[in-house]
Amino acid sequence: MGTSTRTAQPKLGLVGTLRWLWRQLTSMRTALFLLLMLSVAAVPGSIFPQRSINAQRVTEYLDQHKTTGPWLDRFGFFDVFSSPWFAAIYILLVISLLGCVIPRMRIHYNSLRSPIPQVPARLGRLQASADERVAGDPAKIIATAREVLGRKHYRLREDSGDDARTQDTHELAAEGGRMRETGNLLFHLSLVIVIVAVAMGSLLGWRGDVIVPEKSEFSSTMTRYDTIDPGPWVDLEKLTPWSLTMDKLDVAFEENVPQDSPQFGQPRSFIASVTTQDGEGGSPQKSQISVNHPLSIGGSDVFLLGNGYAPKVVVRDARGNVLYEDATPFLPQDNNYRSVGAIKVTGSAPKQLGFFGLFLPSVDFDDKQGPYSTFPDLRKPALVLGLYEGNLFPGGRPQSVFSLDTREMTQVKAQNGEPLRMMIRPGETIQLPGGRGSITLESVPRWAGLSVRSDPGKLPALIGATLGLIGLVMSMVLRRRRIFVRVTPDGEGTNRVQVGALAKGDDPRLQLAVDELMQTLRSGSTDATYPEQVKKAGAR
């Protein structure tokens, strides 16, 4: 009865499993897969509205999609870049890249310190080779090869006498392009730097938006921003203090073209002249902010993103007491700055007043659309307003500064019973019906929309991108080569010169480099050159 043998399968065990998982995670294939996953995971952030950018749009989306909206919100599709699954891919990608790069850096460091190998015995078997008879001094031929390869920044190793294979042989080994692997590692390391820098910007950076009319002052504190979006690790109570006064906003529009031209009325320049003060003890400084030319102050960058008009309105009660006096921003709706807005008078009694309507910088009339603007600059400015009275803030809920919540308000009507409509030009005062007082349009200053951004990852990201570009160029331009030269006197007044080369990876110009070096060795000899050649079959 025969016996059967069975090969025992070794059990992997916990340590072996963890080691296998680590090898899989730190492979370049996994890093590329995670990079692809990260780009795919970012797609919902460009499809669905994000709370960090526009929370109001997210609310509107949830109201319009009662079924799918809550499920998308549950899985974080409205907060993609701060969701746990996006962060998990992000962290795994960083670990994978570091696991790929760090061991390769250690191996490459040891490779840089390793000596150049000796000249192989059979140069004709290398990827590219040449074998010729050259007259001249062997030492001089080797010196010529050393000079040529040294100018190309090859590392050199010269053997002769007892160090060479035979007593009368001169040998030279050269190695170049070792920085190619350095560039490759630098490129992969730069990916880690950029990814970490972006994470720093998301965690430690913040962004705030504010509208500042001309002649108004703004201080960088949490309560003064219209909207503010801080990173998870940002303490808004510790913002660097600074202040800014909007002295003047200069805007230029195209006028030197026909009115039917598409370029008529197009903006040409926006320049905000400001006075800044960095910190409590800083001295005032005059500065300018324009498109693509931000102001740097307090560790933040101040960008000029938008502009419009902020009519300065004074509302008085029937006794002449001032209830409201301020420059109220109106939001442009088209290229001619037809702007909508609301004026909220909270100090009136017994009911609060809310004006709503349009500001038109160059007013005109049309039978179908009514009043409209013909040009974005101030030519014939006018306010076209209606009026509500009641509770401006029902339930104390927040609302847009450009609109009224009229759920607990009643529209005021004129004496003929129609809804009240008023057109006010600069310097005019209109009496409100029913003894409600008056409204005056004093002037029309402009407002500037400022976006203040603090991104501590910006400089590291720039450094990482620059290093990545340098590394990519190095890995694409440099060629890893080893070139060997052997000069052996034949006892007949000539020398057998053998040149061989090999490359790491594909190098279509390797044979050309060998031929050029051989031609230089021939021409560098002071004696006659013999045309006899011994070549590797099929080498050329």
pLDDT tens series, the chain, 540 aa:
445 555 555 555 788 888 888 888 888 889 889 989 998 998 988 899 887 777 768 887 888 888 898 999 898 898 888 888 988 998 999 899 889 888 888 888 888 888 888 899 899 999 999 999 988 888 899 999 999 999 998 999 988 755 556 667 889 999 998 888 899 999 989 989 998 998 898 889 998 999 999 999 999 998 899 888 888 888 888 888 899 999 999 999 998 888 888 888 888 899 999 999 987 767 899 999 998 899 999 889 999 988 999 999 999 999 999 999 999 999 999 989 999 999 999 988 789 999 999 999 999 998 887 899 999 999 999 999 999 999 998 887 777 888 898 989 999 998 888 999 999 999 999 999 988 999 999 999 999 999 999 999 999 999 999 999 999 999 888 888 999 999 998 877 789 999 999 998 888 899 999 999 999 998 874 333 333 333 333 333
User: 385, 336, 400, 386: which is closest to 362 by C-alpha?
Assistant: 336
Q: Which token pair is 17?
A: 């499993």
Residue 458, classed as helix, strand or coil, is helix
Query: DSSP E strands: which ranges in 234-299?
Result: 242-253, 267-278, 285-290, 295-297
N- to C-terminal Cα separation, the chain: 66
Q: Which token pair is 29?
A: 């294939």
Q: With helix as H, strand as E and coil as C, how does 16-49 read?
A: HHHHHHHHHHCCHHHHHHHHHHHHHHCHHHHHCC
In this structure, are strands 409-411 and 339-345 parallel, antiparallel, or unpaired?
Answer: unpaired
User: In 3-state terms, the chain is what percent helix, strand and coil (to 5)?
Assistant: 30, 35, 35
Q: According to the model, what pLDDT value does residue 162 have? A: 56
In this structure, are strands 446-454 and 481-489 parallel, antiparallel, or unpaired?
Answer: unpaired
Crossing angle of helices 28-41 and 84-113, rounded to 10°? 150
Q: How far apart are CA 474 and CA 108, in angstroms?
A: 15
pTM above 0.85, yes or no: no
Q: According to the model, what pLDDT value does residue 161 have? A: 58
Residue 370, classed as helix, strand or coil, is strand
Residue 39: φ, ψ to 5°: -65, -40
Q: According to the model, what pLDDT value does residue 27 have? A: 87
Residue 147, classed as helix, strand or coil, is helix
Residue 410 backbone zone (phi > 0: left; psi -120 to 50: alpha; other: beta): beta
Q: According to the model, what pLDDT value does residue 163 have? A: 58
Task: Indicate the burial class of 125 (C-beta count within 10 angstroms; 0-12, 13-18, 19 or more).
Answer: exposed
Q: Where are the alpha helices (DSSP H) in 478-538?
A: 510-523
In this structure, are strands 481-489 and 312-316 parallel, antiparallel, or unpaired?
Answer: unpaired
CATH 3.30.565.10 fits 115-177+479-533, yes or no: no
Q: b/e map of 264-302 (b: 16 or more CB within 10 Å)?
A: bbeeeebbbebebbbeeeeeeeebebeeeebbebbebbb
Local structure of residue 376 (DSSP, 8 states): S
User: 201, 244, 187, 171: which is closest to 482 by C-alpha?
Assistant: 171
Please report, as a single letter, which amino acid is at residue 131: D
Q: How far apart are CA 187 and CA 470, in angstroms?
A: 8
Residue 348: CB partners within 8 Å, gap ≥ 6? 315, 317, 323, 389, 436, 437
Local structure of residue 380 (DSSP, 8 states): B
Query: DSSP E strands: which ranges in 347-391?
Result: 352-360, 363-366, 370-373, 382-390
Q: How far apart are CA 105 and CA 371, in angstroms?
A: 70
Q: Where are the alpha helices (DSSP H) in 75-176?
A: 84-113, 138-151
- Radius of gyration (C-alpha) of the chain in whole angstroms: 39
Number of residues written out for the chain = 540
Q: How far apart are CA 474 and CA 468, in angstroms?
A: 10
β-strand partners of 358: 340, 384
